[in-house]
Amino acid sequence: DWTAASIVDDQIAKIREQVGDERVICGLSGGVDSSVAAALVQRAVGDQLTCVFVDHGLLRAGEAEQVQKDFVDATGVDLVVVDAEKQFLDALAGVSDPEQKRKIIGREFIRCFEQAARDIVAGTAGAKNDPSDAEQHPVKHLVQGTLYPDVVESGGGSGTANIKSHHNVGGLPDDLQFTLVEPLRDLFKDEVRQVGLELGVPESIVWRQPFPGPGLGIRIIGEVTKERLETLRVADAIAREELTAAGLDRDIWQCPVVLLADVRSVGVQGDGRTYGHPIVLRPVTSEDAMTADWSRVPYDVLSKISTRITNEVREVNRVVLDVTSKPPGTIEWE
Ligand code: XMP
């Protein structure tokens, strides 16, 4: 029967068997899933693990700093940060189709991991690596924090349709050069949180709300550009700040903030007419993200978010609330 401790023991044995004395990298986003996966692998094979944080330019405000502060400082894990903003934005230029965006993002993630693996072998990345040793023990494995629902919704479960390609499942290239280590593949989010607590992962990470790997790239409806990302980043930070200030973080599963970049509406701001973009707030409650309900956030909190976003973000003149459950709507808009 299921206990967090038994899962930890089982998975550590499996990881050791799969990895042997070879090197491993882990794509770390700072979210619950990748952090718990990294902590498990660290427990299993210690310094053979290097974590790779890809800054793809689709991150929310403050995200890179948070990974360092909350996870790396607490675990002492070896971390490589890859600055890949230009690479991702170039690859996404001109693309509006959601599945195409997801596939591109999945592919570019892998490219970054491949480059990081080469750098680790060459001794130019990864503080804890002795290059001569790395030659003998190349990076063969990639750890991902894939969960059971990611697999099911990407069409990997039996008899299920592809709802959307999670960046780390359906978005993987065919010529992948790593073997995947996915110790959370059979688990739901609440189980992953229990495993994280068992491993001593800081609570600030264990209780973080989910955030998708493709980041703000799938929260801009339309083409992803640097300017649009900046607009969305500010609006998202305001929404998060106010929801946290209202004490709602643990009541809400997550609250995607979405920029309808291809939609404009007329508004009046300051002393004139504007023709700006809407922001959608999508606060949901859920147990496992397979189903969800829209969250009844108090009107005064919504009002504050709306006022602040339209005052502080020049490009936005309208804030709307998504009142759709899942199904029929998915949690993210793409
Ligand atoms: P949907 O939109 O399918 O989302 O209802 C369910 C949960 O999964 C997250 N999500 C992702 N997470 N990579 C991820 O790591 C992805 O490609 C991805 N797509 C959606 C979403 O935020 C929600 O928690």
Model confidence at 129: pLDDT above 60: no
Alpha carbon of 177 to ligand 1 centroid (Å): 25
pLDDT > 70 fraction of the chain, expressed in percent and rounded: 96
Is 29 annotated to bind a ligand? Reply is: yes
What predicted TM-score, i.e. pTM, was given to this entire model?
0.94
Alpha carbon of 135 to ligand 1 centroid (Å): 37
> Is domain 219-321 given the CATH code 3.40.50.1820 in the classification?
no
Domains 4-206 and 219-321 share a fold: no
Tell me which of 331, 333, 334 to substitute to probe ligand 1's pocket, judged by most ligand atoms within 8 Å of the beta carbon. 331
**Does residue 326 line the site of ligand 1, with CB under 6 A?**
yes
Nearest to 70 by CA among 29, 115, 113: 29
Mean pLDDT of 246-264: 98
R_g (Cα) of the chain, nearest Å: 20
Model confidence at 312: pLDDT above 60: yes
pLDDT at 108: 97
**Does residue 166 line the site of ligand 1, with CB under 6 A?**
yes
Atom of ligand 1 nearest to the CA of 164: 3
pLDDT digits (tens, 9 = 90+) for 161-200: 788 989 888 778 888 999 999 999 999 999 999 999 999 9
CATH superfamily of 4-206: HUPs (3.40.50.620)
278: number of Cβ within 10 Å: 18
End-to-end CA distance of the chain: 37
**Does residue 151 line the site of ligand 1, with CB under 6 A?**
no
Alpha carbon of 128 to ligand 1 centroid (Å): 33
**Does residue 167 line the site of ligand 1, with CB under 6 A?**
yes
Q: DSSP H helical segments within the chain, as ranges? A: 4-19, 32-45, 63-66, 73-75, 85-92, 98-122, 131-136, 148-153, 189-198, 203-206, 226-245, 299-312
pLDDT at 159: 61
pLDDT at 175: 87
**Does residue 254 line the site of ligand 1, with CB under 6 A?**
yes
Phi-psi region of 181 (alpha: psi -120 to 50; beta: other; left: phi over 0): beta
Residue type, 293: D
Rounded CA-CA distance 26/45 in Å is 12
Q: What SS3 state is found at 334?
A: coil
Alpha carbon of 60 to ligand 1 centroid (Å): 15
Residues 96 and 223: beta-carbon distance below 8 Å: yes
Mean pLDDT of 249-269: 97
Task: Indicate the domain borders of the chain.
Answer: 4-206, 219-321
pLDDT at 232: 98
Band (pLDDT 50/70/90 cuts) for residue 124 is confident
Is 27 annotated to bind a ligand? Reply is: no
Mean pLDDT of 214-238: 98
pLDDT at 155: 84
